[in-house]
Structure 1
């Protein structure tokens, strides 16, 4: 993900000691874009997506406490998630993106 951001002219951020341990983040205008990446198989889809959504909820809580605007993305590698999971994610403010649909993350 960091390489994908760099190839589009976006400088990815690394977590500092005081940050939550996000996978990839960057600033888009004044919005902090936070990305969690999960690899999916038929056997682990439920657990991985629940874990990723929980992580993003923690990240959002952490940064919104500082009055930051955030956008949340869960990028999935491998098995595409069921449409049910995309709906669940949207209901909590997270966009699910497949590994082959990354352009939507980098719209400025």
Structure 2
């Protein structure tokens, strides 16, 4: 069927490939969609767009921005855990605002965070 098959006699004998940028993107999206908590998600992921190999734009709805959708530019290779934990407060920092695209009321640039 064209699927590579590797017979493993001992799990430590398999060389694992290095993480890819797609793995980092998956971590961001999974954490925003399923954060392992019971309360309502805020911010809520509405969609995403790959801007380049290491630039991801997240489209979010947040109670912190009642006037509409917030877009957030991030670098998947950056400090993901810290970024995702701080995201609710970072989207309100006016010093990080950039020119919004047609799909949002606010663009927050967190590529250097």
- TM over 0.5, yes or no? no
TM-score, with structure 1 as normaliser:
0.26
The structure that has the greater radius of gyration is 2
Structure with bigger RCO (C-alpha 8 Å, 6+ apart): 1
Higher helix fraction (1 or 2)? 1
